[in-house]
Amino acid sequence: MNSEPKSDVSYTPAELLKSYIEWGVDETISEEPINWFYETDNIQIKQNTTSKTSSNTLNNTAPVSQAPLASQQEHIDMAKKLAANCKNLDELSAAILEFEGCSLKKTASNTVFSDGNVESDIMIIGEAPGGDEDRVGKPFVGEAGQLLDRMFAAIDMKRENDFYIANLLPWRPPGNRKPTDGECELCFPFIKRHIELFEPKLIICVGGTSASTLLNTKSGITKLCGKWQEYIMSGTTVPIIPIFHPDYLLRQPQFKKQTWHDLLAIKAKIGELNID
């Protein structure tokens, strides 16, 4: 006797909708195609045939004006203004929570601001929150974050004491996809102000997206990795070094050897700068 196959996983409507959002679904479709040319023609015909009979109603109804959608540049300008007005990290965190110009905020569960020792001199900047970070509200708490902690523990550094962590983007891209150039440009004023307010003596970029954005280059992480450069901050320069993202190292463990050399270079630089 034939029977319909049953799925091993059952979802409530709310769980299913959340899963769609995590997978990056941003629109719905019907089961049958729609001929929009036919639909448009019919709408036009109906409007023409009813225009005379409804003319009095239309004339007596005040037109509804709708504000135009803000452009990408207007959102960037708004982010710059909000960030510039912040005098400390608490104000910056509040400004990011207030900002509604980034669509990623609508699909994220939490705004991820920072973690680690705010009194340290070393700032680590990642790319964007993942699923675990989005749920917890802190950067680098998932499997990649645990590897990051082990990496720096190997050179006697702990996030609770020795460094401070933030992300280029405070909101998780759906499905953990790579942030777009537009999203990076939109969130850059916040991380720029974040760096200025924290005043690090050394910056470590984790991953290609944060490195290329902060260094304003199109070069990939394999070319940037392990090379010291300078970040200009309020007229002063801060040494900055990109390293591979731990999530990348989980997928490509053959690059762990190079990362170990980069970590040793970081330890040497910390000694050279007399950072406690």
CA–CA gap between residue 66 and residue 68 (Å, rounded): 6
pLDDT at 96: 98
Q: What is the pTM of this model?
A: 0.76
Quick: pLDDT tens for 50-90: 444 444 443 444 444 454 567 999 999 999 999 999 999 99
pLDDT in tens, 211-259: 999 999 999 999 999 999 999 998 899 999 999 999 999 999 999 999 9
Give pLDDT tens digits for 255-271.
999 999 999 999 999 99
Burial class (CB in 10 A: 0-12, 13-18, 19+), 223: middle
Three-state SS across the chain?
Answer: CCCCCCCCCCCCHHHHHHHHHHCCCCCCCCCCCCCHHHHHHHHHHHHHHHCCCCHHHHHHCCCCCCCCCCCHHHHHHHHHHHHHCCCCHHHHHHHHHHCCCCCHHHHCCCCCCEEECCCCCEEEEECCCCHHHHHHCCCCCCHHHHHHHHHHHCCCCCCCCCCEEEECCCCCCHHHCCCCHHHHHHHHHHHHHHHHHHCCCEEEEECHHHHHHHCCCCCCHHHHCCCCEEEEECCEEEEEEEECCHHHHHHCHHHHHHHHHHHHHHHHHHHHCCCC
**Rounded CA separation 112/102 (Å):** 14
pLDDT at residue 131, as a whole number: 96
Structural domains in the chain, sorted by start: 72-272 (3.40.470.10)
Q: pLDDT by residue (tens digit) across 148-160?
A: 999 999 999 999 9
Instruction: Give the pLDDT score at 207.
Output: 97
pLDDT in tens, 116-149: 999 999 999 999 999 999 999 999 999 999 999 9
Q: What is the pLDDT of residues 18-43, one digit of tens each?
A: 776 777 666 666 556 566 555 545 54
* Torsion of Cα atoms, 13 then 19 then 24 then 29, to 10°: -30
Residue 24, pLDDT score: 67
CA–CA distances in Å: residue 198 to residues 100, 119, 120, 194, 234: 24, 9, 9, 6, 12
